[in-house]
Amino acid sequence: METTSLRIAIQKSGRLTDKTINLLENIGLKFDGYKDRLLVKSLNFDVELLLIRDDDIPEYVQDGICDLGIVGANVSLERGADVEVIRDLQYGMCRLSVAVPKSSGFHTMHDLNNKRIATSYPNLTRKYFSSRGIDVKIVEISGAVEIAPRLDVADAIVDLVSSGGTLKTNGLQELEVILHSQSQLIRTRKPIPAEKLDLIDKFLIRINGRQLAERSRYIMMNAPRESLEVISGLIPSLKSPTILPLAEPDMIAIHSVIPTDKFWEVMEELKAAGASGIVMLPVESMIV
């Protein structure tokens, strides 16, 4: 019989695994361990995780073997999978870039005409060079792409970059970015039974709540009652702040939730308006 649990494909063991499990735990899903297991059922939500290589995730979701998947955009695009991207997840940030040896004398993309490019991303690489009208020979390599020019296997590479440390260590420099990537929640385009759709809605509400919470902070401050209007003006999201009386008659406590970036922008102005004892706290989740 077909499972009615929501099935989500995630990376078994790699850069995205811990962050993905953290995200799922942060939205309240409990698991009894996941290391060295292929299928893991949540203890408190009707969901099961399929732990596989990231390269297989897009196809598993495309074919409806899994309803959802969490995988880097770079992998989904390289595999050309027909899936729906439903959320960017703000981790696993990287870029797929063209890089050349510093000593190569290559300065522009056109210098790479008729050259050999080593990559684990043959499809994205081919498409990109051809869209730029540059002919290249693609040398497909599954790992350690950065050493290909030194081994004279290739003249340049296309690889993922995050800090840029690997390129630097290998005497390479970035010429152009092909793609900015991050981890994404993807969904099958195959028909999904109604009871699973309901689970997906519930799952997405939790993801939204978590993403909103990550961008927000709970702030508390004390202020003279007469400063309330100025302070409210400084923090636009303070439409209806919580106001609490303090023991001192003309003083109040103001509580609200604001975007994190906004807090750092207005902090000095809040102080100038008379706010004191400003406390900023992380928010676990937010359902609006």
Task: From the list Zn ion, ligand PRT, none, pick the one residue 47 interacts with, judged by a Cβ distance below 5 to 8 Å according to partner type.
Answer: none
Q: Identify which of residues 49 and 71 has a Cβ nearer to Zn ion in the complex.
A: 71
Span near ligand PRT by CB under 6 A; candidates 49-57, 82-90, 220-228, 276-284 = 49-57
Q: Tell me the backbone φ, ψ of residue 17, rounded to 5 degrees.
A: -60, -55
Q: Identify which of residues 141 and 270 has a Cβ nearer to ligand PRT in the complex.
A: 141
Detail the DSSP E strand segments found in the chain. Answer: 6-11, 39-41, 47-52, 68-72, 84-88, 94-101, 115-119, 136-140, 156-161, 172-181, 183-187, 216-224, 242-245, 251-259, 276-282
Q: Which residue is nearest to ligand PRT (CB)?
A: 72
Classified as helix, coil or strand, 269 is helix
Query: What's the distance, Cα to Cα, between the start and end of the chain in Å?
Result: 38
Q: Does 54 bind Zn ion (CB under 5 A)?
A: yes
Q: Does 55 bind Zn ion (CB under 5 A)?
A: yes
Q: Tell me the backbone φ, ψ of residue 236, rounded to 5 degrees.
A: -55, -30
Partner residues linked to 223 by β-bridges: 252
Q: Does 112 bind ligand PRT (CB under 6 A)?
A: no
Q: What share of the chain is helix, strand, coil (3-state, %, to 5)?
A: 35, 35, 35
Q: Identify which of residues 120 and 188 has a Cβ nearer to ligand PRT in the complex.
A: 120
Q: Does 37 bind ligand PRT (CB under 6 A)?
A: no
Least distance to ligand PRT from the beta carbon of 22, Å? 15
Q: Does 170 bind ligand PRT (CB under 6 A)?
A: no
Q: Identify which of residues 70 and 252 has a Cβ nearer to Zn ion in the complex.
A: 70
Q: Does 72 bind ligand PRT (CB under 6 A)?
A: yes
Binding site for ligand PRT (CB under 6 A): 11, 14-16, 53-55, 72, 74-75, 92, 94, 159-166, 181
